Structure 1
Amino acid sequence: MELAPKLLDMVWAILIFGAVIAVILGLASFYENRGGRRGGGWFVGPALALLAVGLVYPALKTVWNSFLDATGGKFVGIDNYTQIFTNSDELVVLRNTVLWTLVTPFVATAIGMIYAILVDRAKGEAVAKALIFLPMAISLVGASIIWKFMYDYKDPAGGTAKHPTQQIGFLNQILVWLHLDPVNFLLNSPQNTFWLIVVMIWIQAGFAMTILSASIKAIPADIVEAARLDGVGAFQMFRFVTFPSIRPAVVVVLTTIAIACLKVFDIVRTMTGGNFDTNVIANEFYSQTFSAANQGLGAALAVVLFILVVPIIVYNVRQLRASEAR
């Protein structure tokens, strides 16, 4: 009996949303027909207002909070930033974030590029691409749970010679089959950070392959044929033809994955919770703000994360403009 009113409310919400969109599109079409594209200016004001309320104000508020103490009631200057760059635990957070940002984009892009070149126009290309792209369809939390089982470790000391401890983790079971001791992959630092990075590479390699494969197929056929007629080998073809042609796409892939790594949260939170020296800025920001109730330090970490992301975005925009100008 209670389900019918909820369904009715949902239907009304959908109808109202559709009506609002129809009115907006109708007004845009009317003003465009009456005065060219000048009518679009009527919609700039509300858009800017929404950006100011939803983006600019929270950003400025976060910057201000970064200069306050844990409770947000006392001005402490740059003490929070000083703690980030001097405290040993926070330095580990920065180190791990740098490792994520340096390793993941290049490895994932290299794997995606090599895979895209190898399967290009090969038999079963669609199936081969689907296999490496499938992890992109999994949420980061889901992928983390999968790999947490892959890395699972059981202490062999709990078993006997007749009844040895069964390893649930696939990687440790392989080590047992090879008569090697199982390893607690997520415990020892800094190796555990690299094992977490593997999860992101597994996901992002499919993204890199998809973008770069499309760029490779966009290379004019006459250029490829001319190079082959000149006797260019496979390596020279990649160096002088393929890579220069797909360079803008490579830059986009690298910067996109780098930004994703700077903001990485789900994998670390799900697999280790930031323990065992695996913490990163996004997870530390969450922990300080919501778990430790240190709003000042949490805001300062958010500002540092924003500062790290901005140069990558600026570089990406410049590269796109440069490629369009050619």
Structure 2
Amino acid sequence: METSRKTLSFSDAHHHLLVMMLTFIQGIYSMPVPTDVPMCTASDTAHYSLMFTGKWTQAAFPKQYPVYRPPAQWSNLIGVTHSYDYHMWQSNEFASNGVREFAEKGEAWTIMKEVETAGEQIQSVYGILSAPAVVGGTGQMNTEFEVFARHSYLSFIVRIVPSPDWFVGADSVDLCEGDHWKEKVTLELFPYDAGTDSGFTFSSPNFETIPQDRIMQITSSFPSHPANSFFYPRLKHLPPIAKVTLTKIKKMNQIISLPLEPTQSNLLLTGNEIEDELIDTPLDCEVSAWSPWGLCKGKCGDSGVQHRTRYIIMHPANNGAACPLLEEERKCFPDNCL
């Protein structure tokens, strides 16, 4: 009888464990969407136009503003419509190989393959969109795209040209609000560092970051280095370097395809078009450290004069602080007099 009770006890425990495992497996496959993710219940698909406007002017960003070889401009825009559980890129996370190649070189092949793979394996991506590159810091580009309830989010990326690995973009903008689609969304864009290249200036040579850093937003004080092209210690915040306007439209006008070359129809905007967007960022004069004191010039037995100099690293702009004196002198007594 004792043996029978032990056998029964073991059987019950085994059955209980099996029930727990089945319950756990069922829970995985019936796992609900997290409660903090808003559910989109819009019944119809929606069509949107996307208008990208560059606000990268020499007045707003005077420090090391690239005028030639190459001048300030924007790469083509690459974007995706997707579900809540997909991210093309995220601030404070590591960039994928595709984001790295696009941010550093403007090469879109790998990031497009990553997007396609996500669509095939986890069905989290619905569509890919693109817009042609902009030849100029204040040009425009536009495209159209479609979204529906299960894939109501938009993400995109645009490379800053020239730059080490800097870009602008948006991560997971939800265009749905309950049972309806938003009519218009405006996004002010600020520069991000992909964390893959350690260059400080727009024209820095390639200098791989080892180990790779996380994607971080560039601010007026970060990275905190005076050589950085976006370092403006007098500013609390950088002005937006670009803007995207998303507008709900009635229907799609064209098939979306990936452009390979910049277009000539999106050159600099006229003064009237950007008049209300202009921002003058003050840029203080920057000078080098003092040189060593020069030789003491004078007659033996009398006091002489010696000089030291420094030079201008950055000229002031937009009413920034003027340059200080570049030369100093002081009295001295000649050495090695006979």
Q: TM-score, normalization: structure 1? A: 0.22
More strand as a share of residues: 2
Q: Which has the larger radius of gyration?
A: 2
TM-score normalised to structure 2 length: 0.22
Q: Which has the higher contact order (CA 8 A, sep 6+)?
A: 1
